[in-house]
Structure 1
Amino acid sequence: MTTTALKPRTAPAAGTPVPARRKRSWRSYSVYAGLALIFIYCLSPFYWMIVSSLRRTADIFDNSPLPAPFSVENYVKVFDGSTMFGQALLNSLIVAGVTTVAALVMGIFAAYAISRLNFRFKSVILGVIIATSMFPGISVVVPLLRFFSDIGWINTYQAMIVPNLSFAIPLAVWNLTTFMKSLPFDLEEAAMIDGCTKWQAFRKVLLPLAAPGVFTTAILTFIHSWNEFIIALSMVNDPQVQTATVAISKFTGATEFQAPFGEQMAAGVIVTVPLVIMVLFFQRRIVEGLTAGAGK
Protein backbone atom coordinates (compact mmCIF):
# COMPACT_ATOMS: atom_id res chain seq x y z
CA MET A 1 0.00 0.00 0.00
CA THR A 2 1.55 3.28 -1.08
CA THR A 3 0.94 6.61 0.53
CA THR A 4 1.29 10.01 -1.03
CA ALA A 5 2.68 12.85 0.96
CA LEU A 6 0.53 15.97 1.21
CA LYS A 7 2.08 18.99 -0.36
CA PRO A 8 2.36 21.93 1.97
CA ARG A 9 0.11 24.87 1.08
CA THR A 10 2.17 27.72 -0.26
CA ALA A 11 1.26 31.36 -0.05
CA PRO A 12 0.13 32.98 -3.29
CA ALA A 13 2.85 34.69 -5.18
CA ALA A 14 3.00 38.44 -5.39
CA GLY A 15 0.67 39.83 -8.03
CA THR A 16 -1.74 36.91 -7.81
CA PRO A 17 -5.34 38.22 -8.17
CA VAL A 18 -7.58 38.02 -5.08
CA PRO A 19 -10.36 35.45 -5.43
CA ALA A 20 -13.77 36.82 -6.39
CA ARG A 21 -15.38 35.40 -3.23
CA ARG A 22 -13.02 37.38 -1.05
CA LYS A 23 -13.71 40.53 -3.05
CA ARG A 24 -17.46 40.05 -2.63
CA SER A 25 -17.13 39.47 1.12
CA TRP A 26 -15.16 42.68 1.64
CA ARG A 27 -17.60 44.57 -0.53
CA SER A 28 -20.57 43.30 1.46
CA TYR A 29 -18.83 44.16 4.74
CA SER A 30 -18.19 47.70 3.55
CA VAL A 31 -21.85 48.07 2.54
CA TYR A 32 -23.04 46.86 5.96
CA ALA A 33 -20.58 49.17 7.70
CA GLY A 34 -21.82 52.12 5.65
CA LEU A 35 -25.45 51.30 6.43
CA ALA A 36 -24.62 50.99 10.12
CA LEU A 37 -22.99 54.43 10.12
CA ILE A 38 -25.99 55.97 8.38
CA PHE A 39 -28.32 54.22 10.83
CA ILE A 40 -26.39 55.55 13.83
CA TYR A 41 -26.14 59.04 12.35
CA CYS A 42 -29.89 59.26 11.71
CA LEU A 43 -31.09 57.75 14.99
CA SER A 44 -28.59 59.22 17.45
CA PRO A 45 -30.48 62.56 17.80
CA PHE A 46 -33.74 60.70 18.42
CA TYR A 47 -32.02 58.44 20.96
CA TRP A 48 -30.60 61.43 22.81
CA MET A 49 -34.02 63.09 22.79
CA ILE A 50 -35.53 60.01 24.47
CA VAL A 51 -32.71 59.84 27.03
CA SER A 52 -33.01 63.55 27.84
CA SER A 53 -36.77 63.28 28.23
CA LEU A 54 -36.27 60.62 30.93
CA ARG A 55 -33.86 62.70 33.02
CA ARG A 56 -34.77 64.82 35.98
CA THR A 57 -34.63 68.58 35.52
CA ALA A 58 -31.52 68.74 37.69
CA ASP A 59 -29.78 66.13 35.47
CA ILE A 60 -30.77 67.50 32.07
CA PHE A 61 -27.15 68.45 31.18
CA ASP A 62 -25.73 65.08 32.19
CA ASN A 63 -23.72 63.40 29.41
CA SER A 64 -24.24 59.80 30.48
CA PRO A 65 -25.69 57.52 27.74
CA LEU A 66 -28.53 56.42 30.03
CA PRO A 67 -30.58 58.48 32.46
CA ALA A 68 -29.77 57.75 36.09
CA PRO A 69 -32.19 57.72 37.72
CA PHE A 70 -35.09 57.34 35.31
CA SER A 71 -37.77 59.98 35.74
CA VAL A 72 -41.09 60.69 33.99
CA GLU A 73 -41.55 64.13 35.52
CA ASN A 74 -41.08 65.78 32.12
CA TYR A 75 -43.97 63.81 30.63
CA VAL A 76 -46.15 64.71 33.62
CA LYS A 77 -45.35 68.41 33.17
CA VAL A 78 -46.13 68.23 29.43
CA PHE A 79 -49.71 67.22 30.11
CA ASP A 80 -50.45 69.49 33.03
CA GLY A 81 -53.07 72.18 32.54
CA SER A 82 -50.66 75.02 31.80
CA THR A 83 -49.30 73.73 28.48
CA MET A 84 -52.56 72.64 26.77
CA PHE A 85 -50.46 70.09 24.92
CA GLY A 86 -53.33 67.60 24.71
CA GLN A 87 -55.44 70.16 22.83
CA ALA A 88 -52.46 70.89 20.57
CA LEU A 89 -52.16 67.19 19.68
CA LEU A 90 -55.86 67.13 18.81
CA ASN A 91 -55.42 70.24 16.64
CA SER A 92 -52.51 68.61 14.80
CA LEU A 93 -54.61 65.51 14.19
CA ILE A 94 -57.48 67.62 12.80
CA VAL A 95 -55.25 69.69 10.51
CA ALA A 96 -53.23 66.72 9.24
CA GLY A 97 -56.31 64.51 8.82
CA VAL A 98 -58.37 67.07 6.89
CA THR A 99 -55.37 68.00 4.75
CA THR A 100 -54.73 64.35 3.91
CA VAL A 101 -58.34 63.60 2.98
CA ALA A 102 -58.72 66.75 0.87
CA ALA A 103 -55.37 66.20 -0.89
CA LEU A 104 -56.28 62.58 -1.69
CA VAL A 105 -59.70 63.45 -3.10
CA MET A 106 -58.35 66.19 -5.37
CA GLY A 107 -55.16 64.29 -6.15
CA ILE A 108 -57.00 61.11 -7.23
CA PHE A 109 -59.20 62.92 -9.74
CA ALA A 110 -56.34 65.08 -11.03
CA ALA A 111 -54.07 62.04 -11.41
CA TYR A 112 -56.82 60.14 -13.23
CA ALA A 113 -57.33 63.01 -15.68
CA ILE A 114 -53.60 63.38 -16.35
CA SER A 115 -52.93 59.65 -16.69
CA ARG A 116 -56.05 58.62 -18.64
CA LEU A 117 -57.31 61.59 -20.66
CA ASN A 118 -55.68 63.06 -23.74
CA PHE A 119 -55.57 66.85 -23.86
CA ARG A 120 -53.09 69.54 -24.85
CA PHE A 121 -50.35 70.78 -22.53
CA LYS A 122 -50.78 67.83 -20.19
CA SER A 123 -47.07 67.63 -19.45
CA VAL A 124 -46.89 71.38 -18.90
CA ILE A 125 -49.73 71.23 -16.39
CA LEU A 126 -48.06 68.40 -14.50
CA GLY A 127 -44.79 70.34 -14.45
CA VAL A 128 -46.53 73.46 -13.09
CA ILE A 129 -48.18 71.38 -10.35
CA ILE A 130 -44.83 69.98 -9.28
CA ALA A 131 -43.15 73.40 -9.49
CA THR A 132 -45.61 74.87 -6.99
CA SER A 133 -44.37 72.46 -4.32
CA MET A 134 -40.78 73.68 -4.69
CA PHE A 135 -41.41 77.08 -3.13
CA PRO A 136 -40.35 77.24 0.54
CA GLY A 137 -43.12 77.75 3.04
CA ILE A 138 -41.67 81.05 4.27
CA SER A 139 -42.12 82.57 0.79
CA VAL A 140 -45.93 82.35 0.99
CA VAL A 141 -46.37 83.30 4.64
CA VAL A 142 -46.44 87.10 4.21
CA PRO A 143 -49.03 87.29 1.38
CA LEU A 144 -51.18 84.62 3.00
CA LEU A 145 -51.02 86.38 6.35
CA ARG A 146 -52.25 89.60 4.76
CA PHE A 147 -54.99 87.79 2.85
CA PHE A 148 -56.20 85.73 5.80
CA SER A 149 -56.26 88.84 7.99
CA ASP A 150 -58.55 90.55 5.51
CA ILE A 151 -61.02 87.66 5.36
CA GLY A 152 -60.90 86.86 9.09
CA TRP A 153 -59.17 83.48 8.91
CA ILE A 154 -56.45 84.13 11.49
CA ASN A 155 -56.59 81.66 14.42
CA THR A 156 -58.67 79.15 12.46
CA TYR A 157 -58.04 75.63 11.21
CA GLN A 158 -58.53 76.60 7.57
CA ALA A 159 -55.67 79.08 7.85
CA MET A 160 -53.38 76.07 8.31
CA ILE A 161 -55.19 73.53 6.13
CA VAL A 162 -55.39 75.60 2.93
CA PRO A 163 -51.64 76.46 2.81
CA ASN A 164 -50.80 72.84 3.62
CA LEU A 165 -52.84 71.76 0.60
CA SER A 166 -50.62 73.83 -1.68
CA PHE A 167 -47.79 71.42 -0.82
CA ALA A 168 -49.79 68.24 -0.21
CA ILE A 169 -51.77 68.26 -3.47
CA PRO A 170 -48.68 68.33 -5.77
CA LEU A 171 -47.22 65.42 -3.80
CA ALA A 172 -50.47 63.45 -4.16
CA VAL A 173 -50.86 64.28 -7.87
CA TRP A 174 -47.29 63.30 -8.71
CA ASN A 175 -47.35 59.98 -6.83
CA LEU A 176 -50.79 58.94 -8.04
CA THR A 177 -50.19 59.98 -11.64
CA THR A 178 -47.06 57.85 -11.83
CA PHE A 179 -48.90 54.93 -10.27
CA MET A 180 -52.06 55.18 -12.42
CA LYS A 181 -50.03 55.37 -15.62
CA SER A 182 -48.72 51.89 -14.85
CA LEU A 183 -52.22 50.38 -14.56
CA PRO A 184 -53.50 48.73 -17.77
CA PHE A 185 -56.29 50.61 -19.53
CA ASP A 186 -57.69 47.33 -20.85
CA LEU A 187 -59.31 46.59 -17.49
CA GLU A 188 -61.42 49.74 -17.66
CA GLU A 189 -62.40 48.99 -21.25
CA ALA A 190 -63.42 45.46 -20.27
CA ALA A 191 -65.54 46.83 -17.42
CA MET A 192 -67.30 49.28 -19.73
CA ILE A 193 -67.92 46.50 -22.27
CA ASP A 194 -69.58 44.55 -19.46
CA GLY A 195 -71.98 47.44 -18.88
CA CYS A 196 -70.16 49.73 -16.41
CA THR A 197 -70.17 53.45 -16.92
CA LYS A 198 -66.87 55.33 -16.92
CA TRP A 199 -67.49 56.39 -13.32
CA GLN A 200 -68.28 52.81 -12.28
CA ALA A 201 -65.17 51.52 -14.04
CA PHE A 202 -63.11 54.12 -12.21
CA ARG A 203 -64.71 53.41 -8.82
CA LYS A 204 -64.93 49.59 -9.00
CA VAL A 205 -61.85 48.71 -11.09
CA LEU A 206 -59.21 51.42 -11.17
CA LEU A 207 -59.53 52.75 -7.63
CA PRO A 208 -59.09 49.33 -5.92
CA LEU A 209 -56.03 48.66 -8.08
CA ALA A 210 -54.61 52.03 -7.11
CA ALA A 211 -55.09 51.38 -3.38
CA PRO A 212 -51.35 50.80 -2.64
CA GLY A 213 -50.44 54.12 -4.23
CA VAL A 214 -53.31 55.91 -2.46
CA PHE A 215 -52.28 54.41 0.88
CA THR A 216 -48.64 55.44 0.44
CA THR A 217 -49.62 58.95 -0.62
CA ALA A 218 -51.91 59.28 2.41
CA ILE A 219 -49.10 58.39 4.82
CA LEU A 220 -46.59 60.77 3.21
CA THR A 221 -49.14 63.59 3.12
CA PHE A 222 -50.14 63.03 6.74
CA ILE A 223 -46.50 63.08 7.91
CA HIS A 224 -45.83 66.30 5.99
CA SER A 225 -48.90 68.02 7.46
CA TRP A 226 -48.23 66.72 10.97
CA ASN A 227 -44.68 68.14 10.98
CA GLU A 228 -45.53 71.52 9.41
CA PHE A 229 -44.38 74.44 11.58
CA ILE A 230 -43.78 77.79 9.89
CA ILE A 231 -47.32 78.31 8.56
CA ALA A 232 -48.98 77.16 11.79
CA LEU A 233 -46.71 79.49 13.78
CA SER A 234 -47.52 82.47 11.57
CA MET A 235 -51.28 82.00 11.20
CA VAL A 236 -52.24 81.01 14.74
CA ASN A 237 -51.48 82.61 18.11
CA ASP A 238 -54.45 81.22 20.01
CA PRO A 239 -53.41 78.32 22.29
CA GLN A 240 -56.78 76.68 21.66
CA VAL A 241 -56.04 76.30 17.93
CA GLN A 242 -52.25 75.95 17.71
CA THR A 243 -50.72 72.63 16.67
CA ALA A 244 -48.33 70.45 18.64
CA THR A 245 -45.19 71.64 16.84
CA VAL A 246 -46.03 75.26 17.69
CA ALA A 247 -46.96 74.39 21.27
CA ILE A 248 -43.53 72.79 21.82
CA SER A 249 -41.75 75.95 20.66
CA LYS A 250 -43.75 78.03 23.15
CA PHE A 251 -43.02 75.99 26.26
CA THR A 252 -41.76 78.19 29.10
CA GLY A 253 -39.81 77.30 32.21
CA ALA A 254 -40.36 78.24 35.83
CA THR A 255 -38.72 81.63 35.19
CA GLU A 256 -38.52 83.90 32.17
CA PHE A 257 -34.93 82.94 31.37
CA GLN A 258 -35.22 79.20 31.94
CA ALA A 259 -35.51 76.90 28.91
CA PRO A 260 -37.57 73.75 29.65
CA PHE A 261 -35.34 71.37 27.71
CA GLY A 262 -36.71 68.27 29.44
CA GLU A 263 -40.33 69.12 28.67
CA GLN A 264 -39.49 69.98 25.07
CA MET A 265 -37.67 66.65 24.67
CA ALA A 266 -40.62 64.76 26.16
CA ALA A 267 -43.08 66.57 23.89
CA GLY A 268 -40.84 65.86 20.89
CA VAL A 269 -40.89 62.15 21.72
CA ILE A 270 -44.69 62.20 22.05
CA VAL A 271 -45.06 63.89 18.65
CA THR A 272 -42.53 61.66 16.88
CA VAL A 273 -43.32 58.20 18.26
CA PRO A 274 -46.78 57.86 16.57
CA LEU A 275 -45.22 58.60 13.17
CA VAL A 276 -42.40 56.11 13.74
CA ILE A 277 -44.88 53.41 14.79
CA MET A 278 -47.08 54.13 11.78
CA VAL A 279 -44.18 53.91 9.34
CA LEU A 280 -42.83 50.71 10.92
CA PHE A 281 -46.27 49.11 10.95
CA PHE A 282 -47.09 50.02 7.35
CA GLN A 283 -43.58 49.89 5.88
CA ARG A 284 -44.42 46.97 3.60
CA ARG A 285 -47.40 48.80 2.14
CA ILE A 286 -45.33 51.95 1.71
CA VAL A 287 -42.63 50.08 -0.19
CA GLU A 288 -45.26 48.31 -2.28
CA GLY A 289 -46.90 51.62 -3.15
CA LEU A 290 -43.63 53.28 -4.10
CA THR A 291 -42.39 50.37 -6.23
CA ALA A 292 -45.65 48.96 -7.65
CA GLY A 293 -45.58 51.29 -10.63
CA ALA A 294 -42.12 50.09 -11.62
CA GLY A 295 -42.99 46.43 -11.29
CA LYS A 296 -46.18 46.32 -13.31
Structure 2
Amino acid sequence: MELRIFTEPQQGATYDQLLAVARCAEDAGYGAFFRSDHYLMMGDVSGEPGPTDAWTTLAGLARETSRIRLGTLMTAATFRLPGPLAITVAQVDQMSGGRVELGIGTGWYAEEHSAYGMPFPPLAERFDRLEEQLAVITGLWSTPAGERFDHDGRYYPVRDSPALPKPVQQPRPPILLGGTGPKRTPRLAARYADEFNLPFASVPDTAAQFDRVRAACAEIGRDPADMVWSNALVLCCGRDDAEVARRAAAIGREPDELRANGLAGTPAEVLDTIGRYAEIGSERLYLQVLDLSDLEHLELVASEVMAKL
Protein backbone atom coordinates (compact mmCIF):
# COMPACT_ATOMS: atom_id res chain seq x y z
CA MET A 1 0.00 0.00 0.00
CA GLU A 2 1.41 3.37 -1.07
CA LEU A 3 0.48 6.51 0.86
CA ARG A 4 0.16 9.87 -0.86
CA ILE A 5 -0.71 13.35 0.43
CA PHE A 6 -3.78 15.13 -0.93
CA THR A 7 -4.64 18.79 -0.20
CA GLU A 8 -7.67 21.06 -0.70
CA PRO A 9 -6.17 24.55 -1.23
CA GLN A 10 -9.49 26.18 -2.15
CA GLN A 11 -10.30 26.08 1.56
CA GLY A 12 -7.57 28.66 2.14
CA ALA A 13 -3.87 28.22 1.34
CA THR A 14 -0.96 30.10 -0.14
CA TYR A 15 1.59 28.66 -2.51
CA ASP A 16 4.19 28.81 0.25
CA GLN A 17 1.99 26.67 2.51
CA LEU A 18 1.55 24.10 -0.25
CA LEU A 19 5.29 24.10 -0.90
CA ALA A 20 5.96 23.43 2.80
CA VAL A 21 3.55 20.48 2.78
CA ALA A 22 5.01 19.10 -0.47
CA ARG A 23 8.56 19.33 0.85
CA CYS A 24 7.57 17.75 4.16
CA ALA A 25 5.83 14.92 2.28
CA GLU A 26 8.87 14.39 0.10
CA ASP A 27 11.26 14.34 3.05
CA ALA A 28 8.98 11.93 4.96
CA GLY A 29 8.88 9.45 2.09
CA TYR A 30 5.31 9.77 0.79
CA GLY A 31 4.79 8.72 -2.79
CA ALA A 32 3.15 11.87 -4.11
CA PHE A 33 1.72 15.30 -3.41
CA PHE A 34 -1.67 15.87 -5.01
CA ARG A 35 -4.04 18.79 -4.82
CA SER A 36 -7.64 19.44 -5.75
CA ASP A 37 -8.57 21.59 -8.73
CA HIS A 38 -11.16 24.03 -7.39
CA TYR A 39 -11.62 27.79 -7.47
CA LEU A 40 -14.19 28.22 -4.69
CA MET A 41 -14.18 27.26 -1.02
CA MET A 42 -16.68 24.74 0.36
CA GLY A 43 -18.52 24.92 3.64
CA ASP A 44 -18.27 27.55 6.36
CA VAL A 45 -14.77 28.86 5.68
CA SER A 46 -13.54 32.18 4.32
CA GLY A 47 -11.28 30.66 1.67
CA GLU A 48 -8.79 33.47 2.25
CA PRO A 49 -6.39 34.44 0.80
CA GLY A 50 -8.18 32.98 -2.23
CA PRO A 51 -7.76 30.11 -4.68
CA THR A 52 -4.53 28.98 -6.26
CA ASP A 53 -4.54 27.43 -9.72
CA ALA A 54 -3.77 23.71 -9.65
CA TRP A 55 -1.41 23.53 -12.61
CA THR A 56 0.35 26.79 -11.80
CA THR A 57 0.99 25.35 -8.33
CA LEU A 58 2.28 22.05 -9.72
CA ALA A 59 4.58 23.87 -12.14
CA GLY A 60 6.16 25.69 -9.22
CA LEU A 61 6.45 22.53 -7.14
CA ALA A 62 8.00 20.74 -10.11
CA ARG A 63 11.01 23.04 -9.80
CA GLU A 64 11.15 23.06 -5.99
CA THR A 65 10.98 19.31 -5.34
CA SER A 66 13.10 16.49 -6.69
CA ARG A 67 11.52 13.08 -6.03
CA ILE A 68 7.88 13.23 -5.07
CA ARG A 69 5.26 12.73 -7.76
CA LEU A 70 2.76 15.52 -8.43
CA GLY A 71 -0.83 15.51 -9.62
CA THR A 72 -4.47 16.52 -9.39
CA LEU A 73 -7.54 14.92 -7.81
CA MET A 74 -9.27 15.88 -10.04
CA THR A 75 -8.73 18.50 -12.74
CA ALA A 76 -12.15 19.68 -13.91
CA ALA A 77 -12.65 19.16 -17.63
CA THR A 78 -14.91 22.22 -17.62
CA PHE A 79 -12.01 24.50 -16.68
CA ARG A 80 -9.69 23.95 -19.63
CA LEU A 81 -9.68 23.07 -23.31
CA PRO A 82 -8.03 19.70 -24.03
CA GLY A 83 -5.30 20.98 -26.34
CA PRO A 84 -3.96 23.62 -23.95
CA LEU A 85 -4.34 21.18 -21.04
CA ALA A 86 -2.25 18.57 -22.89
CA ILE A 87 0.42 21.23 -23.44
CA THR A 88 0.35 22.35 -19.80
CA VAL A 89 0.63 18.84 -18.37
CA ALA A 90 3.41 17.92 -20.81
CA GLN A 91 5.33 21.06 -19.88
CA VAL A 92 4.98 20.44 -16.13
CA ASP A 93 6.07 16.86 -16.76
CA GLN A 94 9.20 18.21 -18.43
CA MET A 95 9.75 20.72 -15.60
CA SER A 96 9.54 17.92 -13.03
CA GLY A 97 11.71 15.42 -14.89
CA GLY A 98 8.76 13.10 -15.48
CA ARG A 99 6.87 13.13 -12.16
CA VAL A 100 3.40 14.34 -13.16
CA GLU A 101 0.04 12.53 -13.11
CA LEU A 102 -3.23 13.85 -14.53
CA GLY A 103 -6.38 13.17 -12.56
CA ILE A 104 -9.35 14.47 -14.53
CA GLY A 105 -13.12 14.44 -14.11
CA THR A 106 -16.31 16.02 -15.39
CA GLY A 107 -16.36 18.88 -12.89
CA TRP A 108 -19.24 18.97 -10.42
CA TYR A 109 -19.25 22.17 -8.35
CA ALA A 110 -21.76 24.45 -10.04
CA GLU A 111 -21.20 27.41 -7.72
CA GLU A 112 -17.51 27.79 -8.59
CA HIS A 113 -18.37 27.95 -12.26
CA SER A 114 -20.85 30.78 -11.75
CA ALA A 115 -18.46 32.52 -9.32
CA TYR A 116 -15.73 32.74 -11.97
CA GLY A 117 -17.73 32.90 -15.20
CA MET A 118 -17.23 29.37 -16.51
CA PRO A 119 -19.93 27.44 -18.41
CA PHE A 120 -21.41 24.47 -16.55
CA PRO A 121 -23.26 22.14 -18.96
CA PRO A 122 -25.65 19.38 -17.81
CA LEU A 123 -24.08 16.18 -16.52
CA ALA A 124 -24.60 14.15 -19.71
CA GLU A 125 -22.84 16.80 -21.77
CA ARG A 126 -20.04 17.07 -19.21
CA PHE A 127 -19.43 13.33 -19.58
CA ASP A 128 -19.47 13.70 -23.40
CA ARG A 129 -16.94 16.50 -23.17
CA LEU A 130 -14.74 14.57 -20.73
CA GLU A 131 -14.67 11.56 -23.05
CA GLU A 132 -13.70 13.75 -25.99
CA GLN A 133 -11.07 15.55 -23.91
CA LEU A 134 -9.50 12.22 -23.02
CA ALA A 135 -9.41 11.24 -26.69
CA VAL A 136 -7.72 14.52 -27.62
CA ILE A 137 -5.21 14.59 -24.76
CA THR A 138 -4.10 10.98 -25.21
CA GLY A 139 -4.10 11.40 -28.97
CA LEU A 140 -1.84 14.44 -28.83
CA TRP A 141 0.59 12.73 -26.46
CA SER A 142 0.72 9.44 -28.38
CA THR A 143 1.17 10.88 -31.88
CA PRO A 144 4.71 10.01 -33.02
CA ALA A 145 7.13 12.91 -33.33
CA GLY A 146 7.00 14.40 -36.80
CA GLU A 147 3.45 13.24 -37.47
CA ARG A 148 0.17 15.17 -37.24
CA PHE A 149 -2.92 14.56 -35.12
CA ASP A 150 -6.55 15.01 -36.17
CA HIS A 151 -9.70 14.45 -34.18
CA ASP A 152 -13.19 14.54 -35.61
CA GLY A 153 -15.02 15.68 -32.50
CA ARG A 154 -18.32 17.33 -31.70
CA TYR A 155 -16.91 19.66 -29.06
CA TYR A 156 -13.16 19.71 -29.71
CA PRO A 157 -12.33 19.08 -33.37
CA VAL A 158 -8.58 19.08 -34.02
CA ARG A 159 -7.00 19.62 -37.42
CA ASP A 160 -3.39 19.10 -38.50
CA SER A 161 -1.88 19.46 -35.03
CA PRO A 162 1.88 18.95 -34.64
CA ALA A 163 0.96 17.35 -31.27
CA LEU A 164 3.73 19.10 -29.37
CA PRO A 165 5.19 19.26 -26.79
CA LYS A 166 5.70 15.68 -25.73
CA PRO A 167 5.76 14.72 -22.05
CA VAL A 168 8.87 13.12 -20.57
CA GLN A 169 6.97 10.01 -19.44
CA GLN A 170 6.24 7.56 -22.19
CA PRO A 171 3.84 6.51 -23.49
CA ARG A 172 2.25 9.28 -21.37
CA PRO A 173 1.87 10.59 -17.83
CA PRO A 174 -0.51 8.37 -15.84
CA ILE A 175 -4.18 9.29 -16.13
CA LEU A 176 -6.45 8.96 -13.10
CA LEU A 177 -10.22 8.71 -13.37
CA GLY A 178 -12.62 8.08 -10.56
CA GLY A 179 -16.02 8.52 -8.98
CA THR A 180 -19.12 6.58 -8.13
CA GLY A 181 -21.01 6.67 -11.43
CA PRO A 182 -22.26 3.16 -12.20
CA LYS A 183 -22.12 3.15 -16.02
CA ARG A 184 -20.12 5.78 -17.90
CA THR A 185 -17.45 6.15 -15.22
CA PRO A 186 -16.42 2.46 -15.36
CA ARG A 187 -16.45 2.48 -19.17
CA LEU A 188 -14.26 5.59 -19.40
CA ALA A 189 -11.89 4.22 -16.78
CA ALA A 190 -11.54 0.91 -18.59
CA ARG A 191 -10.66 2.71 -21.81
CA TYR A 192 -8.44 5.54 -20.61
CA ALA A 193 -7.36 5.25 -16.97
CA ASP A 194 -4.05 4.04 -15.61
CA GLU A 195 -5.51 4.41 -12.11
CA PHE A 196 -9.05 4.31 -10.75
CA ASN A 197 -9.68 6.37 -7.64
CA LEU A 198 -12.68 6.32 -5.34
CA PRO A 199 -12.94 9.30 -2.97
CA PHE A 200 -14.43 9.14 0.52
CA ALA A 201 -16.16 5.80 0.01
CA SER A 202 -16.71 2.98 2.49
CA VAL A 203 -15.06 -0.40 2.05
CA PRO A 204 -18.30 -2.04 0.75
CA ASP A 205 -18.99 0.83 -1.67
CA THR A 206 -15.39 0.74 -2.85
CA ALA A 207 -15.55 -3.00 -3.49
CA ALA A 208 -18.77 -2.63 -5.52
CA GLN A 209 -17.37 0.17 -7.71
CA PHE A 210 -14.06 -1.60 -8.22
CA ASP A 211 -16.06 -4.62 -9.42
CA ARG A 212 -17.95 -2.46 -11.94
CA VAL A 213 -14.68 -1.10 -13.34
CA ARG A 214 -13.18 -4.60 -13.50
CA ALA A 215 -16.26 -5.77 -15.43
CA ALA A 216 -15.90 -2.83 -17.83
CA CYS A 217 -12.25 -3.79 -18.37
CA ALA A 218 -13.27 -7.37 -19.13
CA GLU A 219 -15.82 -6.17 -21.69
CA ILE A 220 -13.09 -4.55 -23.79
CA GLY A 221 -10.48 -7.25 -23.18
CA ARG A 222 -8.33 -5.27 -20.78
CA ASP A 223 -6.62 -6.99 -17.88
CA PRO A 224 -7.80 -5.25 -14.66
CA ALA A 225 -4.37 -5.98 -13.20
CA ASP A 226 -3.07 -3.22 -15.49
CA MET A 227 -5.04 -0.68 -13.42
CA VAL A 228 -3.91 0.85 -10.14
CA TRP A 229 -6.78 0.89 -7.60
CA SER A 230 -6.91 3.67 -5.04
CA ASN A 231 -8.97 5.58 -2.48
CA ALA A 232 -8.92 9.07 -1.02
CA LEU A 233 -9.77 9.45 2.67
CA VAL A 234 -9.59 12.33 5.13
CA LEU A 235 -6.72 11.90 7.57
CA CYS A 236 -6.90 12.48 11.33
CA CYS A 237 -4.26 10.53 13.25
CA GLY A 238 -2.96 11.07 16.76
CA ARG A 239 -0.79 9.25 19.26
CA ASP A 240 -3.74 9.05 21.65
CA ASP A 241 -7.43 10.00 21.83
CA ALA A 242 -6.65 13.52 23.01
CA GLU A 243 -4.41 14.19 20.00
CA VAL A 244 -7.02 12.72 17.65
CA ALA A 245 -9.66 14.99 19.20
CA ARG A 246 -7.41 18.04 18.85
CA ARG A 247 -6.75 17.37 15.19
CA ALA A 248 -10.43 16.68 14.51
CA ALA A 249 -11.41 19.97 16.15
CA ALA A 250 -8.86 21.84 14.05
CA ILE A 251 -10.72 20.81 10.90
CA GLY A 252 -14.22 21.17 12.34
CA ARG A 253 -15.00 17.44 12.54
CA GLU A 254 -15.83 14.92 15.25
CA PRO A 255 -13.48 12.02 16.05
CA ASP A 256 -16.20 9.35 15.94
CA GLU A 257 -17.47 10.59 12.57
CA LEU A 258 -13.93 10.60 11.17
CA ARG A 259 -13.29 7.09 12.47
CA ALA A 260 -16.45 5.93 10.69
CA ASN A 261 -15.86 7.75 7.40
CA GLY A 262 -12.17 8.49 7.12
CA LEU A 263 -8.70 7.35 8.08
CA ALA A 264 -8.73 8.34 11.71
CA GLY A 265 -7.61 7.32 15.19
CA THR A 266 -4.34 6.15 16.65
CA PRO A 267 -1.67 4.70 14.35
CA ALA A 268 -2.91 1.20 15.20
CA GLU A 269 -6.48 2.15 14.24
CA VAL A 270 -5.29 3.76 11.03
CA LEU A 271 -3.30 0.65 10.12
CA ASP A 272 -6.37 -1.48 10.75
CA THR A 273 -8.48 0.68 8.43
CA ILE A 274 -5.80 0.58 5.74
CA GLY A 275 -5.83 -3.20 6.00
CA ARG A 276 -9.56 -3.34 5.29
CA TYR A 277 -9.12 -1.32 2.09
CA ALA A 278 -6.17 -3.45 1.06
CA GLU A 279 -8.27 -6.59 1.42
CA ILE A 280 -10.68 -5.43 -1.31
CA GLY A 281 -7.87 -4.48 -3.72
CA SER A 282 -6.95 -0.88 -2.94
CA GLU A 283 -3.23 -0.37 -3.59
CA ARG A 284 -2.83 3.34 -2.91
CA LEU A 285 -4.35 5.79 -0.44
CA TYR A 286 -4.53 9.55 -0.83
CA LEU A 287 -4.53 11.07 2.64
CA GLN A 288 -6.63 14.23 2.58
CA VAL A 289 -4.78 16.70 4.81
CA LEU A 290 -6.98 19.67 5.72
CA ASP A 291 -4.82 21.44 8.33
CA LEU A 292 -1.85 22.47 6.21
CA SER A 293 -0.05 24.04 9.16
CA ASP A 294 0.23 20.72 11.04
CA LEU A 295 3.32 19.20 9.45
CA GLU A 296 3.85 17.03 12.53
CA HIS A 297 0.72 15.16 11.45
CA LEU A 298 2.46 14.04 8.25
CA GLU A 299 5.60 13.11 10.13
CA LEU A 300 3.65 11.04 12.67
CA VAL A 301 1.88 9.03 9.98
CA ALA A 302 5.15 8.52 8.12
CA SER A 303 6.94 7.13 11.18
CA GLU A 304 4.10 5.24 12.90
CA VAL A 305 1.94 4.11 9.96
CA MET A 306 3.78 4.20 6.64
CA ALA A 307 6.93 2.66 8.14
CA LYS A 308 4.87 -0.36 9.27
CA LEU A 309 3.09 -1.09 5.98
Shared fold per TM-score greater than 0.5? no
Which protein is richer in strand relative to its size?
Answer: 2
Which protein is richer in helix relative to its size?
Answer: 1
**TMscore range, shorter length:** under 0.3
| Greater relative CO, 1 or 2 (CA 8 Å, sep 6+) | 1
